[in-house]
Structure 1
Amino acid sequence: MPIRLIFFASFLAVLAAACQPPKEETNNRETVMIIEDPHSYAKPEESVITHLDWHAEVNFDSTYITGKASLSIENSENATQLVLDIKDLDIRKVTIGKEDEKEAEYTIGDRDSIMGSPLEVKITPDTRTVNVYYTTSKNAEALQWLSPAQTSDKKFPFLFTQSEAILARTWIPIQDSPGIRFSYTADVKVPANLLALMSARNPQEKNEKGEYHFKMETPIPAYLLALAVGDLEFAAISDRTGVYAEPSVIDTAEYEFAELEEMVSAAEDLYGEYQWGRYDLLVLPSSFPFGGMENPRLTFATPTILAGDRSLTSLVAHELAHSWSGNLVTNATWNDFWLNEGFTVYFEHRIMEKLYGRDYSEMLASIAAEDLQSEISSMTSEGHENDTKLKLDLKGRNPDDGVSSIAYDKGYLFLRYLEEHAGREKFDAFIKGYFSRNAFKGMTTDEFIEQLDEHLLTEGRINIGKVKIDEWIFEPGLPNDAPMPKSDRFAHVDSQVKKFMDGIPPAKLDTAKWSSHEWLHFVRSIPDTVNMEQLEELDSAFGFTSTGNSEVLAAWLVQSIKHNYKAASDRTEEFLIHTGRRKFLEPIYAAMMKQKNGRARALEIYEKARPNYHFVSTNTIDKMLGWKIETTLNQ
């Protein structure tokens, strides 16, 4: 059921920070501005959260969080209820009032498999605080509880959350829409030998009691709520940047991310001041399902980017860029997800270009373009052509379905197209103004188009036209004149692949000083005509099966499966069991499924690996392998 954000004049100032309206409707009394979010039950036109005060205890024995969420709210003059999003929370009681709490009447609606349930609390227009006492469930999809054996140091348990897209509601009762922003404080109790961190002001060392206080003064949407608890240490990179990791990983992480400050400064030079205070990074255990998550003040990162040579840190540039695109200016709904990711990929490439040069950033852009074209082809052949549009319609679907190369890389190419037509100087001015004008607000696709027309096309006298803009945003696939990155360094790699296939031994190929991206392109470019002897030669010369570079390894394992290169079989199983990053899991399991008897092998490995994966990954791989069907048939 969609939410309607109707901003009444009596509390317009509060709600203005929560959402950027796409349209206005005028009657004799007031201006009404409406946004619909099909993935939230909340009714902020009636009552909206402005602040969360969270008190919680983390229990590793029971794998529960017991919490009290005190919600400060603003109401319309006719408000009768506060509607929150919850999913599989055990609600103990609900009260109204800050100091003198009184029991409140509430109901929990029917459970939807994607959206969970509405928690409807009876209020009056004068209600200012609603308190929800609750416990998370074993099914809390945001929470990943790890045993000591599943961590790097294997001494203490670990917990981390992943709230994007709509999983915050599985660990905190909240209005779980990206268009609603609120500040928060938190008091969290954890075992005394562990450190707790959140997307807020963070401690840099453990305390004896295991009691931690957090504060996030800047309003954020619910998907940016984050918590991690584990045996963690901190290393400073600069006065405002640093890294957290397990003790055995901290030195590696400190080396790998030594350029954090340079990245932040480069980003500021491009598009304005960093507005979140500190920028720290947390290296999580290997089950983390993404490359990174842009939680404000504390990016969560996968250990798979610890390549030992700082070659995979473009991911950090991406998460840093989210401090402007996403965290600062946020997609109003998940149908507008491309506004977060397209801008972020564009910004990421600009940061990398500023730090390492155009030829380096063009390698990254070329890899992204390859992935995009492959995904468009796959989606189209499977009958999902509409999902190749930038503006999506995900009503009734999991918003995670929109997490594809379309939002990221088609979005990037669209912005690159605009830059090439407007000129970099004018386009940079537009983006800088866009972040400044819309800071701490939601943004819809329609509103973006209006601002694009007003602040770039009209002011700059740039003749692109509505038809072309609509083709990029509302039509499937790529326009015929979409810019395609070209990398001279990749052209050299291609020449070396050809020489190898023509019979030149690997040792005589010109691979000196290749970056990870060139090696990745080399492995991806191995043609289908390669034979077993040639694969053995490559592996012997370059050590692909044993490499510690996860990007190159994952691509090599896909090639190994495709060509039945059994020397990599054990490494494939090991990698799948100990890596939870969905980006790597999907293509490897998909390659298995295409092979004779491959599904049986995939299921055999998945049964061992699945307990190490976060819900975000299992939700995808379960469907790919038919896991529920298979397990039901075997019972």
Structure 2
Amino acid sequence: MKKVFILAVCCIFTLTNCKQSKEKTIANTYAEEPHSFAQPNNAVTTHLDLDIDVDFDTHIISGTATYDITNNSATEIILDTKYLNIIDVKADGEETAFRLGAMDEKLGQSLTISIKDTTKKIAITYQTTDKTEALQWLNAQQTADKTNPFLFTQGQAILTRTWIPIQDSPQIRMTYNATVKVPSELMAVMSAENPKEKTADGIYKFKMAQPIPAYLIALAVGDIEYKSISDRTGVYAEKSMIEKAHTEFSDMEKMVATAENLYGAYDWEQFDVIVLPPSFPFGGMENPRLTFATPTVIAGDKSLTTLVAHELAHSWSGNLVTNATWNDFWLNEGFTVYFEIRIMEALYGKERADMLALIGRQDLDDELEALKDSPNDTKLKLDLKGRDPDDGMNSIAYDKGYLFLRTLEEHVGRKNMDAFLKSYFKTNAFSTTNTEDFITYLNTNLLDKNNIAFNTEAWIYEPGIPDNAAVIQSDAFTTVKNVLTTFIETNTIDTAKTSQWTPQEWVYFIRNFPEDITTSQMQHLDDTFNLSESTNSYITMVWYEQSILNNYHGNNVDTRISEFLNTVGRRWYVTTLFKAFKKADRIDEALAIYKTARPNYHTVTAHTIDVLLNEV
């Protein structure tokens, strides 16, 4: 009897320890997150049911966000909010206490909800406010068709909390369903399974079956149409833009097939693109199943569709395998630029890919110069605690991250590199990772396995660019540089040599003007090539930049620059031109333009320019 009792006690003790060990493992799943109030190791959201009404008269979204939660015996669960009006909170259908924390300028407010250790659901009834940063409400005149209003969201990096109360950390993934009510003349689409036609009552149902982080939950509402490219690709746009968009993006199915051949199956079923009004702050945003895109990429010749390849690549790097925190942002973007350029090489040839890579290298050099007084910001792995995660969204993450991977490829060989990346995406699918876990995976599955030495930690943890960086060359750009040199020396240009140039060659030509180029030389180029009226937004942007820096005022370029800045809200373009004004000591002109342009910008762009021009 005593032996049986002792054995029973041992079994109970063992089982208790096992249970405690399991709970401890669950409780340490998530990393410390400097940009979220959530404490997911205590209680974490796993599924969202969103039921909202979109009111264009009041510019308010109102409704209820209901969450399934995993509860590790917690008595409270914490969500992120910013500028939201929290009306009511329930736990398992019953009213429960909640409190909002102090307002933090960057992070917003914590929403702490009282729960029981058995609670499985919470529901928050809320409204957005006029300070909500993720939303841009556009009147009809700000759209392409100019007949109906438009709304779109932009959640990256930490703005989803401004239109949904949510655990707004990239390491917290959830599935979601949504019911969205909009005016009957408009269509709603989300980063989910989408309608192809308008409903009669303006009510739309959505389902995202794969778990995604909060920043990838996206909504757009407007008078839009859909046109398919293949059975799994297509475009949404306003009526006046739909045919242009369909033609411009007609290679989308080829891109998806090429990407799958490189790194494995596309796991999101559908890959569509919606062309938004020009105030959209980014070139594109990789919202799953529905990439948001700026109309500035529609050039009429598919020359800027590398953006589509980039957002498609995010379906693997970023959406499938996500950076755990914004300190690891390079894991999203460096991999995506590498993948994007591999797609472009497979579809359009090595020369075009090398041109894109070399432009990126020049962007990186410019960024390194701009950050020379803050070298820690040139590391791939960042420490952004206490800072806006947008501070890390620059060429370091994108182009240094790409250069690291391209250099790695040169050391290990493309065959080994491709096998490694395919395995990396498959192994980590629908999960998050951080820099340290990536290094471990890299060493185990590529470097140690093939007995290859590589200075990984120098690339990731040290500022600047290591000496073993891959040298990117382009024969086409060598020719461009020779043409530019001849022009500067002789004031003549062989138009036969420029007649077949791609937009990338023109961008390289313009960006590399010497500092002593004269206004008469710029006038000559403008008269010859009509650069001030280019229909390619990328060429236009770099030409306007040089016009500002070199005080060129010919061919009504000042008016065109003002019109461009009052129409286009793409942050990269806008920031480039306002930086040029500041560098050229033409700040009064910049402020005059910004006064009229700012109301057309999304808050993401406006905040950046506010800081740049010190006009908060």
Query: Same fold judged by TM-score > 0.5?
Result: yes
Structure 1 residue 201 displacement after superposition: 0.2
Tell me the residue number matched to 1:64: 60
Structure 1 residue 504 displacement after superposition: 5.0
For residues 26 and 242 of structure 2, the distance between their equivalents in structure 1, rounded to whole angstroms, comes to 56
Structure 1 residue 484 displacement after superposition: 2.5
Tell me the residue number matched to 2:363: 371
For residues 508 and 137 of structure 1, the distance between their equivalents in structure 2, rounded to whole angstroms, comes to 55
- The 3-state SS of whatever aligns with 2:180 is strand
Tell me the residue number matched to 2:180: 188
Tell me the residue number matched to 2:145: 153
Instruction: Report whether the alignment pairs 1:493 with 2:486.
Output: no
- The 3-state SS of whatever aligns with 2:356 is helix
Which segment is superposed worse, 172-181 or 534-543?
534-543
Tell me the residue number matched to 1:162: 154
For residues 282 and 408 of structure 2, the distance between their equivalents in structure 1, rounded to whole angstroms, comes to 29
Tell me the residue number matched to 1:511: 498
Q: 2:99 aligns with which of 104, 107, 112?
A: 107
Q: 2:89 aligns with which of 94, 102, 109?
A: 94
- The 3-state SS of whatever aligns with 2:144 is coil
Q: 2:572 aligns with which of 583, 588, 601?
A: 583
Instruction: Report whether the alignment pairs 1:43 with 2:39.
Output: yes
Deviations 1:303-347 (A, max 9, x none): 000000000000100000000000000000000000000000000
Structure 1 residue 276 displacement after superposition: 0.1
For residues 416 and 438 of structure 2, the distance between their equivalents in structure 1, rounded to whole angstroms, comes to 17
Tell me the residue number matched to 1:138: 130
Q: 2:443 aligns with which of 434, 441, 453?
A: 453
Instruction: Report whether the alignment pairs 1:120 with 2:112.
Output: yes
Q: 1:427 aligns with which of 417, 421, 445?
A: 417
Deviations 1:166-196 (A, max 9, x none): 0000000110000000000000000000000
Alignment of 1:293-332 (within 5 A): 293-332=285-324
Tell me the residue number matched to 1:528: 515
Deviations 1:567-592 (A, max 9, x none): 21001000000000011111110111
* One-letter amino acid of the structure 2 residue matched with residue 39 of structure 1: H
Deviations 1:96-138 (A, max 9, x none): 22xxx21111111111000001100000121111000000010
Tell me the residue number matched to 2:335: 343
Alignment of 1:24-39 (within 5 A): 32-33=28-29, 35-39=31-35
For residues 85 and 220 of structure 1, the distance between their equivalents in structure 2, rounded to whole angstroms, comes to 17
Instruction: Report whether the alignment pairs 1:569 with 2:558.
Output: yes
Tell me the residue number matched to 1:606: 594
Do the aligned residues in 1 keep the contact of 2:486 with 2:493 (CA within 8 Å)?
no
Tell me the residue number matched to 2:4: none
Alignment of 1:236-385 (within 5 A): 236-380=228-372, 383-385=373-375
Tell me the residue number matched to 2:221: 229
Do the aligned residues in 1 keep the contact of 2:483 with 2:493 (CA within 8 Å)?
no
For residues 427 and 366 of structure 1, the distance between their equivalents in structure 2, rounded to whole angstroms, comes to 21
Distance 1:255 1:618, change over 3 A: same
Distance 1:32 1:616, change over 3 A: closer
Tell me the residue number matched to 1:483: 470
- The 3-state SS of whatever aligns with 1:485 is coil
Structure 1 residue 12 displacement after superposition: 10
Structure 1 residue 31 displacement after superposition: 8.6
Tell me the residue number matched to 2:607: 619
Do the aligned residues in 2 keep the contact of 1:592 with 1:599 (CA within 8 Å)?
yes
For residues 251 and 484 of structure 2, the distance between their equivalents in structure 1, rounded to whole angstroms, comes to 32
* One-letter amino acid of the structure 1 residue matched with residue 82 of structure 2: K
Instruction: Report whether the alignment pairs 1:412 with 2:402.
Output: yes
Structure 1 residue 502 displacement after superposition: 2.1
Do the aligned residues in 2 keep the contact of 1:136 with 1:171 (CA within 8 Å)?
yes
Instruction: Report whether the alignment pairs 1:82 with 2:82.
Output: no
Which segment is superposed worse, 327-336 or 522-531?
522-531
- The 3-state SS of whatever aligns with 2:377 is helix
Do the aligned residues in 1 keep the contact of 2:273 with 2:292 (CA within 8 Å)?
yes
Deviations 1:392-414 (A, max 9, x none): 00000000100000000000000
- The 3-state SS of whatever aligns with 1:228 is strand
* One-letter amino acid of the structure 1 residue matched with residue 448 of structure 2: T
Do the aligned residues in 1 keep the contact of 2:133 with 2:159 (CA within 8 Å)?
yes
Do the aligned residues in 1 keep the contact of 2:27 with 2:41 (CA within 8 Å)?
no
Do the aligned residues in 1 keep the contact of 2:143 with 2:277 (CA within 8 Å)?
yes
For residues 258 and 523 of structure 1, the distance between their equivalents in structure 2, rounded to whole angstroms, comes to 29
Structure 1 residue 418 displacement after superposition: 0.9
For residues 54 and 11 of structure 1, the distance between their equivalents in structure 2, rounded to whole angstroms, comes to 34
Structure 1 residue 505 displacement after superposition: 2.8
Q: CA RMSD in A?
A: 1.6
Structure 1 residue 509 displacement after superposition: 5.2
Tell me the residue number matched to 2:9: none
Structure 1 residue 512 displacement after superposition: 2.4
Deviations 1:583-605 (A, max 9, x none): 11111101111234x11110100
**TM-score normalised by L of structure 1:** 0.92
Identity of counterpart residues, as a percentage?
A: 51
Q: Based on CA coordinates, which of the two structures has the bigger radius of gyration?
A: 2
Distance 1:12 1:289, change over 3 A: farther
For residues 352 and 32 of structure 1, the distance between their equivalents in structure 2, rounded to whole angstroms, comes to 40
* One-letter amino acid of the structure 1 residue matched with residue 206 of structure 2: F
Distance 1:196 1:30, change over 3 A: closer
Tell me the residue number matched to 2:391: 401
Q: Following TM superposition, where does structure 1 have runs of at least 4 consecutive aligned residues deviating by more than 6 angstroms?
A: 8-13
Number of equivalenced pairs: 598
* One-letter amino acid of the structure 2 residue matched with residue 62 of structure 1: T
Do the aligned residues in 2 keep the contact of 1:96 with 1:103 (CA within 8 Å)?
yes
For residues 249 and 45 of structure 1, the distance between their equivalents in structure 2, rounded to whole angstroms, comes to 46
